[in-house]
A = this chain, B = another copy of it.
């Protein structure tokens, strides 16, 4: 997805524990294959593949096929909708800064 995903798709995608665990594992590794993600996940490769499809549609991960393997990596901008949402509805965060993005620029221009 090069198109910006919505807060709705991001939230819904990360709401499932198994899928979120897959995402966390992808983030924690540079690149990782489906087989590796399946190992220790407690579900079948088919299930993992379905979760990866959801994560990809939500713009949270990207794939890189190489031979018969497919490597997945985290899409850095994928959580932007969540960050934006937090900056609006983050309650006690909102009270301190109008926009997290603005803050980020001040720190790391």
Contacts and interface: CB of A to CB of B under 8 A. Distances in A.
Interface of A: 7-8, 11-12, 14-15, 17, 20, 23-24, 27-28, 74-79, 82-83, 86, 88-93, 96-97, 103-104, 107-108
A28 B88 CA distance: 9
13 contacts: A8-B20, A11-B11, A11-B15, A23-B89, A27-B91, A74-B91, A75-B91, A76-B91, A76-B92, A79-B93, A83-B90, A96-B107, A97-B107
Top 5 A-B residue pairs of the complex, sorted by shortest distance between their CB atoms: A15-B15, A76-B92, A11-B15, A76-B91, A12-B15
A24 B20 CA distance: 23
A96 B86 contact: no
Contacts of A7: 20
Nearest to A92: B76
A48 B91 CA distance: 21
